[in-house]
Chains A and B, each alone.
Chain A
Amino acid sequence: MTDLVSNGGRFAAITQRPPRPEAVVAAHTRRRYVRERRFKLIGMSAVIVAISLLAILLATVLSNGAGAFRQSYAVLDVRLDPAQIDPSGNRDPEVLADADYQAVLNDALVAAFPDMDDRQGRRALRAMLSNSSALQLRQMVLDDPALIGSTVPVRFLLDDERDQYLKGEVDPSIPEANRRLKDRDIALVDRLAEQGRIETGFNWTLFTNADSREPEQAGLRAALVGSFWMMLICFFLSVPVGVAAAVYLEEFAPKNRWIDLIEVNVNNLAAVPSIVFGLLGLAIFLNLFGVPRSASLAGGLTLALMTLPVIIVVTRAALRSIPPSIRAAALGIGASPLQVVFHHVLPLALPGILTGTIIGMARALGETAPLLMIGMVAFIANVPSGPLDPATALPVQVFLWSDSPERAFTERMAAAIIVLLGFLIAMNVIAVLLRKKFERTW
C-alpha cells in the first residue's frame, strides 16, 4: 500500500499524467453537447414529419369521406290509390306484389310538379329519385296493406348526382356539356328544396346495404359481414395452431438442426409477401379442396395461413420473455413440463400473445392482395348469410369503389376507409390497453 503511494507504482501512469489544457477539455465537452442537441433535433423532426404525414392522410380521408355519412332524401306525399294497387280489394299479397308501383310513384311526382306532366318531364322527375324507390313503395305496402287508400309522406333516396349537388360537390358554373347533371335537373332539385321536400339524414344505407351499381344504394354490409367471417375463421384457425406450434418449438422441441431449420423457415414465412399466400390459397383451398370461390371461408383460410407465422413468432417472443426462474420454481416442486407450461409459462405469456395476435389480426383485416387472388374482388350485391356465401372484405370494397368514376363512390370509398381505420385503431388500442393492464415487472 505505502509502496504504491510513495513511488506511484502501477497507478503512476494514471495519477501522474499531465492534465489536458482546460480550453481543450471545454471545447470537447461543448462538441458533445452540440452533438446531443443535433441528434435530439433530428429525432424530433423525424417524429414531426411522421405525425404531419399521418395528419394529412387522416384529414384527407375524413374530409373526403365525411359527406358519405349524410344522405339527402326527397319526401313526397304518395297517394296509395286502391284502384291502382288492389282493384279487387281483397288484399291478396300476390296482387299487391304485382301492382305497378312505378305508376304510383310517377303520380306522386307529378302531383308535386304539375307542370312536368309530359314524357320528358316525367323521365326527369323519375331520374331525381333512386331507382329503388318503386320497390321501396312495394315493400312498404306489403308490410302494411292497411296503408292502401291513404296518402302518406314517404322518404325516398335522392339520386347520387342530385345528392352530390346538394352537398355542393357539383359546380353549376361549369358549362352544361361538361357535367352529368344538366341545368334542368339542377332546377328541379332546387324547386324540390324550395318546396321543403328535401331532408338530410344519417346514411344508414351505408351500413345496411351491400354493394350496388347505384352509389346512393351502395353499402358496406357485405364487406363488413365478409370481414367478420374471415376474422373469425382466421382467429380460430391461426391462434390455436400458432400458439401450439410456438409452445412446442419453445418449450419442448429438442435443440437440433431440424428445429433450427424450422425456425428459419417460420421467420421467413412471416415476411413472405401476402400475394404469395393468396396464390397458395388459390391453389390449395380453391383448386384442391374446392372451397367456393369468393367465399369468406376461402378468405379466412388464406388469411389464417398468412397470420400463422406472425402468431408463432410473437408467441415465441412472449414465451421467451418469461424468466427461467419461474420454470425452475415449478420444476423444483415437481411440476411436469406440461404443467410448467400450462400452469405458469403460458398464462404469464398470455398478454404478450394476445397483443401480438391482435396486431396480426389487424394486419389480416387490412389485407387486400391475397383476397384478390381468390376472387373476393367480385361485385357482391347480396349480404352474405354464412361463410360459404360470396362475400367481400372492407379493404377490397375500398379497392372496388376507388375504381368507380362516380363522385359519390369516391366519397363512399373514403367512408369505407374511415370505417376500416376505425376498426384497426380500435384493435390496436385494445392491444395497448391489454399490455398496460397485464404488464408485469419481475
Chain B
Amino acid sequence: MATAIKVNELPKTEVPAAQRPAPKMSARKVNLWYGQKQALFDVDLDVAKNSVVALIGPSGCGKSTFLRCLNRMNDTIDGCRTQGDIRLDDRDIYDRSVDVVQLRRQVGMVFQKPNPFPKSIYENVAYGPRIHGLAANKAEFDEIVETSLKGAGLWNEVADRLSQPGNSLSGGQQQRLCIARAIAVAPDVILMDEPCSALDPIATAKIEELIDELRQHFTICIVTHNMQQAARVSQKTAFFHLGKLIEFGDTDQIFTNPKQQMTQDYITGRFG
C-alpha cells in the first residue's frame, strides 16, 4: 500500500498541483471481491486525458478485473462486489445517479478475442449509434460508419463490402472492426483487454499503430501480457501483482528504472 501512495505522490513533486490537468479517470481505494475471494486490494490509479495507460502483471493479478471496474462490466458477474471510488471527469461512476448504459457509452471496451456481432460490417458499427440514438437518418449513419471505420483504419479494406458479415474478416480486421464499433459512439475512454493476444504480429503492429493514433482523441487503458507492447504504446504503466498495484509510473521509468524489486523481477522475466 505504501507503494501506491508513493507513486501517487510522485507527479506532485515534479509539477505543482495547480498546473496538473485533472485526470480523465481516477480510482481510489478500489477493493473488489468475487464472492468471498478478494481480487483487488486498495488500488489507486489515475488515467490522464489523451494518454495510454498500460496495465501489466502476471495472470490472475487483477489487471483485467480492474479494467472492467472502469466501465462497470463487473456488475454483470454474480457475486462480484466493488468498493472504493472510481471517477470519470470527477464524477463517481458507482453513484446511484449514474446510468450504467450511458457510462458504457462514454467508456467503451475492446475485448481479448475479437467479438463482432454476427451481422454485417455496417450493422456492427451502426449498432451502438442506433441504440443510443446518435444519428437521425441514413445519411448520418453512413457518415458515422465511414468515419468510425476510417478511424479504425479499416475503411480502405472493407468500403466495398459493408454488407458482408463481420465474421468473414480476418482476426486482425475483426479486432479493428470492434475498435470501430467502440469509437462509433464517441466514447471518452476506451478500455482494451489484451486486444492483440489472439492476433499475429502484423495485425498486432497495426493495432498498436492505431492505438497511438487513437490516443490523440481518446483516453486509453490497455491490459497486456506483452511487455514490449506496453513499452511501445503507453505513456504510463501500472504493474499489478496478486490484486495489488505494486508500482505505477511513467512507462520509461518502469521499464528502465523500476523502483520496486518485484517490478524489476517481472519485467526482466524472472517470474510471471
A residues apposed to B, CB below 8 Å: 254-255, 323, 325-336, 339, 343-344, 348, 440
B105 adjacent to A255 (CB under 8 Å): no
CA distance A335 to B117 in the complex (A): 13
With A331-B76, A333-B128, A334-B185 as contacts: A344 and B109 at CB distance below 8 Å = no
CA distance A344 to B111 in the complex (A): 17
B76 adjacent to A344 (CB under 8 Å): no
Chain B residues in 8 Å Cβ range of A331: 73, 76, 104
Interface membership of B108, Cβ < 8 A? yes
B111 adjacent to A334 (CB under 8 Å): no
With A333-B182, A334-B101, A334-B185 as contacts: A343 and B111 at CB distance below 8 Å = no
B182 adjacent to A332 (CB under 8 Å): yes
A329 adjacent to B108 (CB under 8 Å): no
Chain A residues in 8 Å Cβ range of B132: 334
Known contacts A328-B111, A332-B71, then 18 further A-B pairs from the complex at CB < 8 Å, ordered by chain A residue: A255-B78, A323-B115, A325-B115, A326-B115, A326-B117, A327-B76, A329-B178, A330-B127, A331-B76, A332-B73, A332-B108, A332-B182, A333-B127, A333-B131, A333-B184, A334-B101, A344-B117, A440-B118
Query: Taking each of A323, A328, A332, A333, which has the highest tally of chain B beta carbons within 10 Å of its own beta carbon?
Result: A333
Interface membership of B62, Cβ < 8 A? no
With A326-B117, A339-B131, A348-B118 as contacts: A332 and B105 at CB distance below 8 Å = no
Residue of chain A at shortest CB distance from B75: A331
Chain A residues in 8 Å Cβ range of B118: 326, 348, 440
Interface membership of B113, Cβ < 8 A? yes
B181 adjacent to A333 (CB under 8 Å): yes
B111 adjacent to A325 (CB under 8 Å): yes
A332 adjacent to B117 (CB under 8 Å): no
B113 adjacent to A325 (CB under 8 Å): yes
Interface membership of B116, Cβ < 8 A? yes
Interface membership of B102, Cβ < 8 A? yes
Instruction: Give 7 nearest A-B pairs by CB, closest first.
Output: A332-B109, A334-B104, A325-B115, A334-B105, A333-B128, A329-B115, A334-B101
With A326-B117, A348-B118, A440-B118 as contacts: A332 and B131 at CB distance below 8 Å = no
CA distance A118 to B182 in the complex (A): 97
User: Which listed residue, B78, B117, B128, touches A334 by the CB 8 Å rule?
Assistant: B128
CA distance A343 to B118 in the complex (A): 11
Chain B residues in 8 Å Cβ range of A348: 118
Chain B residues in 8 Å Cβ range of A333: 104-105, 108-109, 127-128, 131, 181-182, 184-185
With A328-B73, A331-B73 as contacts: A336 and B182 at CB distance below 8 Å = no
Residue of chain A at shortest CB distance from B78: A255
Chain B residues in 8 Å Cβ range of A323: 115
Chain B residues in 8 Å Cβ range of A325: 111, 113, 115
26 pairs of residues in contact across A and B, judged by CB atoms under 8 Å = A325-B113, A328-B109, A328-B115, A329-B111, A329-B115, A329-B117, A331-B104, A332-B71, A332-B108, A332-B109, A333-B104, A333-B128, A333-B181, A333-B182, A333-B184, A334-B101, A334-B102, A334-B104, A334-B128, A334-B132, A334-B185, A335-B101, A335-B127, A336-B101, A343-B127, A440-B118
Chain A residues in 8 Å Cβ range of B105: 333-334
CA distance A380 to B249 in the complex (A): 86
A330 adjacent to B182 (CB under 8 Å): no
CA distance A102 to B128 in the complex (A): 79
B73 adjacent to A334 (CB under 8 Å): no
What is the distance, in angstroms, from B7's C-beta to the closest C-beta of chain A?
A: 29
CA distance A255 to B35 in the complex (A): 13
CA distance A328 to B71 in the complex (A): 12
B131 adjacent to A334 (CB under 8 Å): yes
User: Which listed residue, B76, B103, B116, B131, touches A329 by the CB 8 Å rule?
Assistant: B116
What is the distance, in angstroms, from B109's C-beta to the closest C-beta of chain A?
A: 4
Residue of chain A at shortest CB distance from B128: A333
Chain A residues in 8 Å Cβ range of B128: 333-334
Residue of chain A at shortest CB distance from B132: A334
Interface string of B66-86 (1 = CB under 8 A from A): 000001010010100000000
Chain B residues in 8 Å Cβ range of A328: 73, 109, 111, 115
Chain A residues in 8 Å Cβ range of B101: 334-336
Within 8 A of A (CB), among B150-191: 178, 181-182, 184-185
B104 adjacent to A332 (CB under 8 Å): yes
Chain B residues in 8 Å Cβ range of A332: 71, 73, 104, 108-111, 182
What is the distance, in angstroms, from B188's C-beta to the closest C-beta of chain A?
A: 13
Residue of chain B at shortest CB distance from A254: B78
CA distance A332 to B153 in the complex (A): 21
Chain B residues in 8 Å Cβ range of A255: 78
Chain A residues in 8 Å Cβ range of B182: 332-333
Residue of chain A at shortest CB distance from B106: A334
CA distance A327 to B73 in the complex (A): 11
What is the distance, in angstroms, from B83's C-beta to the closest C-beta of chain A?
A: 21
CA distance A18 to B55 in the complex (A): 51
Chain B residues in 8 Å Cβ range of A327: 76
CA distance A302 to B102 in the complex (A): 46
CA distance A327 to B182 in the complex (A): 15
Chain A residues in 8 Å Cβ range of B109: 328, 332-333
Chain B residues in 8 Å Cβ range of A440: 118
Within 8 A of A (CB), among B23-81: 71, 73, 76, 78
CA distance A170 to B109 in the complex (A): 80
CA distance A348 to B167 in the complex (A): 14
What is the distance, in angstroms, from B170's C-beta to the closest C-beta of chain A?
A: 16
What is the distance, in angstroms, from B93's C-beta to the closest C-beta of chain A?
A: 13
Within 8 A of A (CB), among B212-236: none
Residue of chain A at shortest CB distance from B109: A332
CA distance A77 to B116 in the complex (A): 76
Chain B residues in 8 Å Cβ range of A334: 101-105, 128, 131-132, 185
Residue of chain B at shortest CB distance from A333: B128
Chain B residues in 8 Å Cβ range of A326: 115, 117-118
Residue of chain B at shortest CB distance from A322: B118
Chain A residues in 8 Å Cβ range of B181: 329, 333
